[in-house]
Amino acid sequence: MVRVIPLSGRYIPKPSDVVVGTVTDVQTTFWLLDIGAPRWAPLHMTGTPWKMDVGETGQYLHVGDTVVVQIENLDATGRIGVTMLGDGLGKVDGGTVITLSPAKVPRLIGRSGSMIQMLTQKTDCRIAVGQNGRIWVDGTSDGIERVREAIRLIEEEGQRPGLTERIAGYLGSTQGTSGPLAPTPGPARPPFEPPGPIEPGDDEDDAGPGPF
């Protein structure tokens, strides 16, 4: 049996995926979201916890706002239906969005959520991980930069074993400071994250379903 670890890949939506999206257009009954998929995803006003009348959508979400939503359905034409109804879903304020290849998201979450829990604990940041490879991070500027650097490392070395130890070493060495992590020379032997089906692997760093 041969296992293949993808190094990159475009996001293909699947029902029940939790994703981080950006509002690109506001209509009278829905908002268009960019979730990094081949098509934009409409979020209808009935799929939100807000009670509003037709034409009032602009009072709740604006172009450029960041939201955490769940893929509800996909029809035969490829239309993507999303909802904001559910635990951990909604509009997020402040913070920043960092992008990661969707193929590396399981490595960022870690087995049973171990990697993302370590990142939140060591940086004191709130982190929402979308299956579409968009990660919302909110915290101090130092904490956000340390999360950004850890994500860069996962992007570049996520296919190598021992990743958890390497990330832990970086976070420990930069506690109370910030700065880039030196690259590994030669071949290497290293509350607020969304759920989603993750394919388990045979490496200790491979992800299992993580808490949101």
Gap between the Cα atoms of 68 and 188, Å rounded: 35
DSSP 8-state symbol, 62: -
Give the CA radius of gyration of the chain.
18
107 and 191 both lie in a single domain: yes
- Looking at residue 208, what is its pLDDT? 38
CATH number for the domain harbouring residue 38:
2.40.50.140
pLDDT for 143 equals: 95
- Please check whether residues 59 and 106 belong to one and the same domain: no
Specify whether 186 is located in the same domain as 99: yes
Residue at 65 is within a domain: yes
pLDDT profile of the chain (212 residues), mean per 10? 63 94 97 93 96 96 97 88 95 95 91 92 94 96 95 85 87 68 34 39 40 35
- Within this chain, do residues 125 and 44 fall inside the same structural domain, yes or no? no
Question: CA–CA separation, 151 vs 108, rounded Å?
Answer: 7
Element (H, E) at 165: helix 163-173
**Distances 33 to 19, 44, 86 between C-alpha atoms, Å:** 11, 11, 18
Q: Is the separation of the CB atoms in 201 and 2 below 8 Å?
A: no
pLDDT of residue 163: 85
The reply to whether 206 and 117 lie within a common domain is: yes
**Residue 12 is assigned to a structural domain of this protein:** no
- Report how far apart the first and last C-alpha atoms of the chain are (Å, whole number): 33
Residue 176: the pLDDT is 63
Chosen domain end from 92, 116, 150 = 92
User: How far is 3 from 19, CA to CA, in rounded Å?
Assistant: 26
**Boundary-marking domain end, from 92, 127, 151:** 92
* pLDDT at 198 (0 to 100): 36
Say if residue 111 is in the same domain as residue 162: yes
**Is 51 in the same domain as 144?**
no
DSSP 8-class letter at 182? P
> What is the rounded CA–CA span in Å between residue 23 and residue 38?
16
Residue at token pair 């257009």 = 25
Cα 28 to Cα 206: distance, rounded to the nearest angstrom: 43
Report the C-alpha gap between 119 and 139 in whole angstroms: 12
Q: Which amino acid is at 154?
A: I
Residue 51 domain boundaries? 18-92
pLDDT at 196: 40
Single residue among 55, 77, 92 that ends a domain in this structure: 92
Residues 68 and 168 grouped into a single domain: no
pLDDT number for residue 177: 55
Say if 11 falls within a structural domain: no
Domain shared by 191 and 135, yes or no:
yes
Q: Is residue 8 part of a domain?
A: no
What is the Cβ-side half-sphere exposure of residue 88, based on CA atoms within 13 angstroms?
20
Residue 10 covered by a domain: no
